[in-house]
Amino acid sequence: MTTPVLDVRDLQVTFSTREGLVTAVDGVSFRVDAGEVMGLVGESGSGKSVTGLAVLGLIDPPGRIAAGSIKVKATELVGQSEKALQKVRGKDVAMIFQDPMTTLNPVLRIDTQMIEAIRAHEQVSEKAARERARDALAKVGIPSPEERLNAYPNQFSGGMRQRVAIATALLNRPAVLVADEPTTALDVTIQAQILSEVQALCAETGTALVWITHDLSVIAGLADKVAVMYAGRVVEEGPVADVLERPIHPYTAGLIGSVPSRNKRGVPLAQIPGMTPQLSKLPPGCPFAPRCGYSTDPCRTIRPERTPYPGGRAARCHNPLDVPPNTPKADAARELTP
């Protein structure tokens, strides 16, 4: 078995607030191999973005990584000095963000912003760096890249800006790219283009991709595997086709049910009742229990542990929905399937 390029173990991120210590990410573990795409799915406030930022060591006070390990190419990042992290960011791990309108500095030209990303990690001439930036722009499908290098961000559309951000992030051929909802703010048609471009670019360079989103339909076509987060924990994980086809956790099932689909025309859209819980006021049992249609007494008192299932899957649930066959737990929960 090869070592994964990104190996996150028992990651715990806490924020000290006025209401006390809040655990935004609690015991998250996942691994991504070179060239693999992992979807990190969850509602707002589920801790998915914080997890992404933690991978780059970008958690600012009052937040901090309280426990766990993040290894990129077998090098431990947790506990590293800011200077050491600087060398890793943009070189081994890159990140793109949600809103392309605000990711690029409005008062600096594109060439400045791209060349500095190269020269932060390599001693190359201005000219050579510029050529690399131009080639990178051409690769993400920006027409007449040489001229566009001299443009300011406001001279680009949203989709084009996100392309520039992607080109910038991939300049140093990082081993891992963390993409924090990069298509959420874009038109649907542009979304699809960007998705396939990022996928192709990552496949080409063998970059492992962590795609953070709340949109399961994006994950379905893009990712190899998926981790569903709820209230700072991964509640279900596994190969993307299996998870979407036969979700184990009721929360995953709820998410899938609330995706609009052509086949369900005329039927009111299913929704998960209630709201994401406040992290400072989590119930003692399963955080999803108050919103769950399958919750039983143990759900309200005992926090469910991570239970592995065959086919490389796992979930945290006392009443799993659709447990793959040949597992000891299979008979326990069948009657609850709707």
Partner 1 sequence: MLVYLIRRIGQSLLVIAVMAVLVFLAVYAVGDPVAILANPEATQQELDAIAARLGLDRPLWEQFAIFVWNALQGDLGTSFVYSESALTVILERLPATMELAFVALVLSILIGVPLGVIAGLKPDGLAGRTIMSTSILGFSLPNFWIGLMLILLFAVELQWLPASGRGDTVDVLGVPLSMFTLDGLSHLLLPAFTLALYKSSLVIRIAQAGTREVMLQDYVRFARAKGLSPRRIVMVHVLKNMMIPVVTVLGLELGSMIAFAVVTETVFSYPGMGKLLIDSINRLDRPIVVAYLMLTVFIFVIINLVVDMLYAAIDPRVRLSEAKG
Q: Are 214 and 235 in contact (CB under 8 A)?
A: no
In whole angstroms, the minimum distance from the beta carbon of 162 to partner 1 comes to: 11
Residue closest to 159 by CA, chosen among 223, 82, 77, 100: 100
Give me 228's structure tokens.
Answer: 């569903």
Peptide bond into 310 cis (omega under 30): no
Binding segment toward partner 1, per CB under 8 A, in 11-19, 80-88, 265-273, 301-309: 80-88
DSSP E strands, the chain: 6-17, 20-32, 37-41, 63-72, 75-76, 93-96, 176-180, 208-213, 225-230, 233-239, 307-309, 313-315
CB of 232 to partner 1, least distance (A): 21
Mutual angle of helices 158-169 and 110-119, in 10-degree steps: 20
Note whether 158 binds partner 1 by CB under 8 A: no
Which one of 155, 196, 296, 301 is in contact with partner 1 (CB under 8 A)? 155
The values of phi and psi at residue 238, to 5°, are: 160, 180
Question: Would you count residue 116 as binding partner 1 (CB under 8 A)?
Answer: yes
Backbone angles phi, psi at 5, to 5 degrees: -75, -30
Rule CB under 8 A: say whether 56 interacts with partner 1: yes
Q: Is 91 in the site for partner 1 (CB under 8 A)?
A: yes
Alpha carbon 265 to its chain's center: 30
Largest CA distance in the chain: 67
Token duo for residue 22: 């809040």
When the beta carbons of 115 and 289 are compared against partner 1, the nearer one is: 115
Contact between residue 162 and residue 131 where contact means Cβ atoms under 8 Å apart? no
Q: Is 105 in the site for partner 1 (CB under 8 A)?
A: yes
Among residues 135 and 297, whose Cβ is nearest to partner 1?
135
Of residues 74, 107, 188, 267, which one binds partner 1 by CB under 8 A? 107
Does residue 258 bind partner 1 (CB under 8 A)?
A: no
* Under rule CB under 8 A, residue 89 binds partner 1: yes
**Candidates 35-43, 147-155, 232-240, 278-286; binding stretch for partner 1 (CB under 8 A):** 147-155
In terms of CB distance, is 24 or 253 closer to partner 1? 24
Integer angstrom CA distances of residue 317 from 233, 290, 337: 12, 13, 14
**117, 168 Cβ separation under 8 angstroms:** yes
Q: Which stretch binds partner 1 (CB under 8 A): 30-38, 103-111, 236-244, 302-310?
A: 103-111
Residue 193 and residue 187: Cα distance in Å, rounded? 10
Q: Does 152 bind partner 1 (CB under 8 A)?
A: yes
Residue 120 binding partner 1, by CB under 8 A: yes
Residue 123 contacts partner 1 per CB under 8 A: no
Q: How far apart are CA 338 and CA 323, in angstroms?
A: 14
**Whose Cβ is closer to partner 1: residue 60's or residue 305's?**
60
Using CB under 8 A as the binding rule, whether residue 54 contacts partner 1 is answered as: no
**Taking CB under 8 A as the rule, does residue 243 contact partner 1?**
no
Q: Quick check: 169 binds partner 1 (CB under 8 A)?
A: yes
CA distance 49 to 241: 23
Using CB under 8 A, list all residues that contact partner 1: 56, 58, 82, 86-91, 94-99, 102-108, 112-113, 116-117, 120-121, 152, 154-155, 165, 168-169
